[in-house]
């Protein structure tokens, strides 16, 4: 891991810089529910479209809520730069170098503890997981997406304590799961209770919240990534399907919601494409290249 930098505010983009151009330079795409099919594979059509985009001079950046350790599904399809934005913007990752974390925008332990306390108070029955740069650790009742035999299973307060074995590793995300609340209702409740301590979002169909450092989002890290390459928001075409994509989709000059997208994403975007199982991202890339 190269650098740990503090969270920053969401990028503010002048309206003129968001006006779509006829010649995009970057394709920024979410993975789950967007580029990946429901079986978590990348279709042959999508692989071909991504490669064609790179050959035509368009950069492709994967921007996902996944941690670096779950990027094997697309690591073979990262060309040129080899970089991906993971953990909802908390980590910039080099997939050409084994998923090495180049830059990290962490959630401070003190803020994570404050979130745990506040959300426990308003949502009894909640359980937490702490996703650090070195791996995930979770509470006994938390339902992990993938069971990690190296995970420490303990109350969140212990997992976040200074004396924990992984305390020297940056916190990429705090995750909160509730077994009964509706997903969007849980998000609104938790954000109202603890929004001053972190950025709350969700990407799962279940009541699973993802909490990053204040100001950290897919958009905030993508904006820095683009600025370093002289790419304007107006030159970005972005794809997404869930609330954790909203900031990115509204920042980009051109944004597409998948047919299977969350209602908030459908409302926030001006373009639609086919669902993830129908290769919606590939269809748009093919159209863009056809115009060129």
Give the strand order in the sheet containing 91-94. Answer: 3-4, 100-104, 91-94, 83-86, 59-63, 26-29, 236-240, 254-258, 271-273
**Is the pLDDT at 292 greater than 80, yes or no?**
no
What is the pLDDT, as a whole number, of residue 14?
A: 45
Per-residue model confidence (pLDDT) at position 113: 98
Task: Check whether residue 187 and residue 160 sit in a common domain.
Answer: yes
pLDDT tens sequence across 32-56 = 999 999 999 999 999 999 999 999 9
When pLDDT is averaged across residues 228-256 and rounded to a whole number, the result is: 97
Same domain, 141 and 95: no
- Residue 18 zone, left/alpha/beta (φ > 0; ψ -120 to 50; rest): alpha
The number of domains in the chain is: 2
Phi, psi of 158 (to 5 degrees): -75, -40
Residues 176 and 246 in one domain: no
Q: What is the pLDDT averaged over residues 78-84?
A: 77
Residues 6+ apart with CB under 8 A from 13: 223, 233, 251
Same domain, 75 and 207: no
- In angstroms and rounded to an integer, the radius of gyration of the C-alpha atoms of the chain is 18
Q: Do 54 and 195 belong together in one domain?
A: no
Q: What is the CATH number of the domain that holds 199?
A: 3.30.1240.10
Q: Report the candidate in 100, 107, 95, 101 with the shortest Cα–Cα distance to residue 131.
A: 107
Note whether 221 and 264 are same-domain residues. Answer: yes
High-pLDDT (> 90) share of the chain, %: 81
Could you give the 3-state DSSP secondary structure of residue 108?
A: coil
Q: What is the pLDDT of residue 2?
A: 61
Residues 119 and 27 in one domain: no
196 in the same domain as 114:
yes
pLDDT in tens, 175-203: 999 999 999 999 999 999 999 999 999 99
End residue of a domain, out of 212, 232, 263: 212
Q: Which phi and psi angles does 230 have, rounded to 5°?
A: 70, 30
Across 98-125, average pLDDT: 96
User: Do residue 222 and residue 169 come from a single domain?
Assistant: no
Q: Is the pLDDT of residue 5 over 50?
A: no
Do 8 and 145 lie in one domain? The reply is no
Round to whole Å and give the CA distance between 171 and 132: 4
- Please give the pLDDT value at position 10: 46
Boundary (domain end) residue, out of 185, 212, 239: 212
pLDDT interval class at 70 (50, 70, 90): confident
DSSP 50-103: HHHHHHTT-EEEEE-SS-GGGGGGTGGG--TT-EEEEGGGTEEEEGGGTTEEEE
**Average of per-residue pLDDT across 139-150:** 90
- 129 and 253 co-located in one domain: no
Single residue among 189, 212, 235 that ends a domain in this structure: 212
53, 133: one domain: no
- pLDDT tens digits, one per residue of 9-40: 445 544 444 455 557 999 999 999 999 999 99
Question: Rounded to whole angstroms, how far apart are CA atoms 59 and 73?
Answer: 19
- Position 241 pLDDT exceeds 80: yes
Domain assignment of residue 49, given as a range: 3-105+216-291
Q: Give the whole-angstrom CA distance, residue 34 versus residue 24.
A: 19
pLDDT at 110 over 90: yes
Backbone phi, then psi, for 23, in 5-degree steps? -125, 90
Mean pLDDT of the chain: 91
């Amino acid at each position: 891991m190269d650098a740990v930098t503090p969270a920053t505010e969401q990028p503010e983009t002048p309206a003129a810089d968001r006006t779509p151009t006829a010649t995009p330079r970057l394709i920024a795409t979410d993975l789950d529910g967007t580029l990946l099919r429901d079986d978590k594979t990348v279709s042959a059509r999508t692989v071909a479209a991504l490669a064609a985009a790179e050959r035509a001079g368009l950069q492709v950046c994967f921007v996902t809520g996944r941690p670096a350790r779950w990027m094997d599904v697309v690591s073979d399809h990262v060309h040129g730069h080899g970089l991906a934005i993971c953990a909802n913007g908390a980590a910039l990752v080099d997939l050409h170098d084994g998923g090495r974390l180049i830059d990290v925008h962490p959630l401070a332990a003190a803020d994570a503890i404050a979130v745990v306390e506040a959300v426990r108070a308003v949502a009894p029955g909640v359980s937490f997981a702490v996703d650090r740069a070195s791996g995930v650790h979770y509470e006994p009742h938390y339902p992990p997406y993938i069971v990690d035999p190296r995970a420490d299973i303990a109350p969140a307060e212990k997992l976040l304590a200074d004396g924990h074995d992984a305390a020297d590793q940056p916190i990429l995300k705090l995750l909160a799961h509730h077994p009964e609340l509706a997903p969007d209702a849980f998000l609104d409740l938790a954000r109202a209770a603890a929004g001053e301590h972190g950025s709350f979002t969700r990407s799962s169909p279940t009541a699973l919240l993802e909490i990053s450092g204040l100001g950290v989002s897919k958009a905030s890290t993508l904006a820095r990534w683009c600025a370093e390459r002289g790419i304007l928001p107006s030159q970005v075409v972005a794809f997404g399907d869930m609330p954790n994509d909203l900031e990115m989709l509204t920042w980009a000059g051109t944004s597409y919601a998948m047919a299977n997208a969350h209602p908030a994403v459908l409302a926030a975007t001006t373009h639609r494409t086919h669902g993830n199982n129908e290769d919606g991202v590939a269809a748009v890339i093919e159209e863009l290249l056809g115009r060129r």
